[in-house]
Amino acid sequence: MRIDKQQIIDLLKSQGEDDHADQAQSELPDQVDPEQHADLLARFGINPTDLLGKIPGLGGFGGQVGAVNRHRHEAGRQ
Protein backbone atom coordinates (compact mmCIF):
# COMPACT_ATOMS: atom_id res chain seq x y z
CA MET A 1 0.00 0.00 0.00
CA ARG A 2 1.29 3.45 -0.88
CA ILE A 3 0.56 6.55 1.15
CA ASP A 4 0.70 10.09 -0.13
CA LYS A 5 3.66 11.97 1.34
CA GLN A 6 1.42 14.88 2.31
CA GLN A 7 -0.62 12.63 4.62
CA ILE A 8 2.54 11.72 6.51
CA ILE A 9 3.62 15.35 6.69
CA ASP A 10 0.18 16.32 8.00
CA LEU A 11 0.40 13.56 10.62
CA LEU A 12 3.79 14.79 11.79
CA LYS A 13 2.54 18.38 12.02
CA SER A 14 -0.54 17.27 13.97
CA GLN A 15 1.81 15.67 16.50
CA GLY A 16 3.84 18.87 16.84
CA GLU A 17 6.77 17.42 14.89
CA ASP A 18 7.30 20.41 12.59
CA ASP A 19 11.05 19.76 12.22
CA HIS A 20 10.40 16.16 11.19
CA ALA A 21 7.64 17.33 8.85
CA ASP A 22 10.04 19.72 7.09
CA GLN A 23 12.65 16.99 6.81
CA ALA A 24 10.06 14.50 5.50
CA GLN A 25 8.98 17.03 2.88
CA SER A 26 12.46 17.01 1.36
CA GLU A 27 13.36 13.34 1.89
CA LEU A 28 10.23 11.25 1.30
CA PRO A 29 9.11 10.24 -2.18
CA ASP A 30 5.68 11.50 -3.33
CA GLN A 31 4.21 8.04 -2.71
CA VAL A 32 5.50 6.21 0.37
CA ASP A 33 5.43 2.44 0.72
CA PRO A 34 5.57 1.82 4.51
CA GLU A 35 7.40 -1.49 4.09
CA GLN A 36 9.88 -0.29 1.50
CA HIS A 37 10.55 3.03 3.25
CA ALA A 38 10.47 1.73 6.86
CA ASP A 39 14.00 2.94 7.66
CA LEU A 40 13.26 6.39 6.28
CA LEU A 41 10.00 6.64 8.23
CA ALA A 42 11.82 5.57 11.40
CA ARG A 43 14.04 8.65 11.08
CA PHE A 44 10.92 10.73 11.61
CA GLY A 45 9.74 8.67 14.57
CA ILE A 46 7.11 6.81 12.58
CA ASN A 47 6.56 3.09 13.05
CA PRO A 48 5.30 1.78 9.69
CA THR A 49 3.05 -0.75 11.45
CA ASP A 50 1.35 2.00 13.44
CA LEU A 51 1.08 4.33 10.45
CA LEU A 52 -2.05 2.71 9.03
CA GLY A 53 -3.91 3.28 12.29
CA LYS A 54 -2.91 6.94 12.50
CA ILE A 55 -3.90 8.17 9.05
CA PRO A 56 -7.66 8.43 8.47
CA GLY A 57 -9.03 6.27 5.69
CA LEU A 58 -6.22 3.72 5.73
CA GLY A 59 -7.92 1.01 7.74
CA GLY A 60 -7.09 2.23 11.22
CA PHE A 61 -9.40 2.29 14.23
CA GLY A 62 -11.65 4.92 12.65
CA GLY A 63 -12.32 2.67 9.69
CA GLN A 64 -13.22 -0.21 11.99
CA VAL A 65 -15.68 1.90 13.93
CA GLY A 66 -17.31 3.00 10.69
CA ALA A 67 -17.67 -0.60 9.58
CA VAL A 68 -19.23 -1.62 12.92
CA ASN A 69 -21.68 1.29 12.87
CA ARG A 70 -22.61 0.56 9.25
CA HIS A 71 -23.22 -3.10 10.15
CA ARG A 72 -25.40 -2.13 13.13
CA HIS A 73 -27.39 0.27 10.97
CA GLU A 74 -28.00 -2.37 8.30
CA ALA A 75 -28.91 -5.00 10.91
CA GLY A 76 -31.54 -2.66 12.37
CA ARG A 77 -33.31 -2.43 8.99
CA GLN A 78 -34.00 -6.14 8.75
**For the segment 22-33, what is each residue's pLDDT rounded down to a tens digit?**
999 999 999 999
**For the segment 2-50, what is each residue's pLDDT rounded down to a tens digit?**
899 999 999 999 999 999 999 999 999 999 999 899 999 999 999 888 7
Kindly report the pTM of this predicted structure.
0.68
Distances (CA, A) of 58 to 7, 33, 52, 55: 11, 13, 5, 6
Rounded Cα distance, 15 and 34, in Å: 19
**For the segment 51-65, what is each residue's pLDDT rounded down to a tens digit?**
777 777 665 443 333
User: 3 near 36, Cβ under 8 Å?
Assistant: no
